[in-house]
Amino acid sequence: MKPISVTDAQRDLTALVDQVVSHGVSVDLERDKQVVARITPVRIKSKLKIRDFGAFLQDLPRLGDDAAAFSEDLRNIRREVPSENSPWD
């Protein structure tokens, strides 16, 4: 989302906060064409604990007969979508 002026944000703060929450976007606030603040959605912490992660994975539904088709779909997607360069390479 493009930056908005502090004055415009102040006029309809409720709508601005609703956009941040519903769309998960951050909004930069400007004063005199300089960014002075940012409204950012709060990241909700997962209730899943690391110690419970293995059990979580075990409880996921199995693909069954769809496993081969799913695997082939993934291979096709990987061929079509270029991989991103890692900034650490």
List the domain boundaries for the chain: 4-39, 50-80
22-78 residue pLDDT tens:
888 899 999 998 999 999 998 777 788 889 999 999 998 888 888 889 999 999 998
User: What pLDDT is stored for residue 4 in this prediction?
Assistant: 92
Per-residue 3-state assignment (H helix, E strand, C coil) for 45-82: CCCCCHHHHHHHHHHCCCCHHHHHHHHHHHHHHHHHCC
Please state, in angstroms and rounded to a whole number, the distance separating the CA atoms of residues 73 and 84. 19
- Count of beta carbons in the 10 Å neighbourhood of residue 9: 19
Indicate if the pLDDT at residue 14 is higher than 90.
Answer: yes
User: What pLDDT is stored for residue 36 in this prediction?
Assistant: 95
Share the mean pLDDT of the chain: 88
Backbone φ and ψ for 66, nearest 5 degrees, come out as: -85, -5
Q: Indicate the pLDDT class of residue 1, thresholds 50, 70 and 90.
A: low
